[in-house]
Amino acid sequence: MRLQLTLASAALVAGASMAHAQVDEPPRATAALRVYADDDRVTVYSPSASATTLGPRDVALDAAVTIDAVSAASIDVVSTASPYAFHEERVEGALGVAVPVARLHRARARATVSHERDYRALRLSAGWRGELAARNVTLDVTFTAGFDTVGRAGDPSFARDRREHRLAVALTQITDPRGYADVVVEAADQRGYLANPYRFVAIEMPTGPAYTLPERVPDERTAIAGLVRVRRALAAADFAHADYRLSRDTWGITSHTASARWTRALSDDEILVGVELRGYLQDAARFHRARYAGDAGAPPWRTRDRSLGAMASLTAGAVAEAVTPWRELRLSVSAAWVRFRWFDDPDQAERDALIASVGLFLPL
């Protein structure tokens, strides 16, 4: 199934994250390699490349490709029907365009396709970005529609649909000559087959042996999240960033994310170094249990997905960037340590992971 590793929640140091080129950015080409490795025998290599260019009348075009190569023998990362170690790849490609519709306004569209052996995904998005109030305020609105097909390895007849709609509104306000603040509100709605076709849940009986049933979760999930971020120059070469995100969904999960980052520019702004600390905390879905009892019949909703249980994580990372003399090529290197903690998992309570990345930015 889709490789939903917890590393998605460890979204690292912003400068360390060599993200895909966006159509609102200057023309450039990027290449990056990320590596995730933890003490539960999961390793992910993710090479990626992207490019952005300007066409006639300032129409911006971008393209990106990412490959996730996963090797795992974890107790809770299952992607095939086999309980043994596996190797799997996911390939993702994206195309985007941004068109000026006025002097300070742009409309954009983007299509992203990803494929792995038993999961196919399509994302179509449209957005608008405008500068308002004498360019002191930026408003960005994006709507994304997702169309996924969930399969099961070894069973060509198994195909389940999953749909997603997501709306994000971001407002950026310049507060003074030294800083600005962001407010982001995002709503998402998922419908269809939201379970894992490989996950089975043990049902314990007061008398007699336990038995297992396929995972079953509600076929609809709606979430809303809000984020507040403050970015500020502390001195001529020092910059600070702090944010807080609160999310709540209809499965009963409330999550909190807080981070703080400090960066310093060195050598006439040709070298940038920074550190970040991030914490994440969530409670459990209403139907999540460490153990299920079957004395009153099979529970209607059941999952052993610990990402739906009470958990926390702490990330500490560092990043360094340097501009080289050759055509202003920029090199970025980062590393982070992540500690995951699951509060009601009887098999594994903690996990440590290391995430590293190296990337190149080349202005075109």
Other C-beta atoms lying within 10 Å of the C-beta of residue 124: 14
pLDDT band at 84 (very low <50, low <70, confident <90, very high): low
Give per-residue pLDDT as tens, 154-179: 888 999 999 999 999 999 999 998 99
- Type of residue found at 242: A
- Torsion 341-342-348-353 (CA) sign: negative
Would you state the pLDDT for residue 31? 97
Would you state the pLDDT for residue 83? 52
CA gap 324, 221 in Å, rounded = 47
Would you state the pLDDT for residue 206? 84
And the tokens for 56? 């006639």
Which candidate, 82, 163, 76, places its Cα nearest to that of 117?
82
Residue 80 confidence (pLDDT) above 50: no
Give per-residue pLDDT as tens, 257-282: 999 999 999 977 789 999 999 999 99
> Residue 363, SS3?
strand
Q: Are 37 and 354 in contact (CB under 8 A)?
A: yes
pTM assigned to the model: 0.88
- Span of 18-22, 92-96, 298-302, 313-317 with lowest mean pLDDT: 18-22
Longest dimension (CA), the chain: 75
And the tokens for 292? 């299920």
The CA–CA distances, whole Å, from 197 to 158, 213, 214 equal 9, 11, 7
In this structure, what DSSP letter does residue 267 have?
T
Residue 135 confidence (pLDDT) above 80: yes
Give 23-90 as a 3 state SS string. CCCCCEEEEEEEEEEECCCEEEEEEEEEEEEECHHHCEEEEEEEEEEEEECCCCCCCCCCCCCEEEEE
Q: Which domains does the chain have, with CATH numbers?
A: 6-363 (2.40.160.40)
Q: 194-231 burial, b if ≥16 CB within 10 A, otherwise e?
A: bbbbbbebebeeeeeeeeeeebbbbeebebebebebeb
Q: Provide the terminal-to-terminal Cα distance of the chain, rounded to the nearest Å.
A: 38
Which candidate, 291, 287, 286, places its Cα nearest to that of 302?
287
Phi, psi of 51 (to 5 degrees): -150, 145
Quick one: average pLDDT of 330-348? 91
Would you state the pLDDT for residue 81? 43
Q: Where are the alpha helices (DSSP H) in 142-206?
A: none
Quick one: average pLDDT of 54-83? 78
Q: Are 148 and 139 in contact (CB under 8 A)?
A: no
- Type of residue found at 144: T
Cross-strand partners of 280: 257, 313
Would you state the pLDDT for residue 79? 45
Would you state the pLDDT for residue 24? 60
Among residues of the chain, what percentage have pLDDT more than 90?
A: 68
The CA–CA distances, whole Å, from 10 to 191, 201, 280 equal 25, 27, 9
> Residue 286, SS3?
coil
Give per-residue pLDDT as tens, 284-322: 999 998 889 888 788 999 998 889 999 999 999 999 999
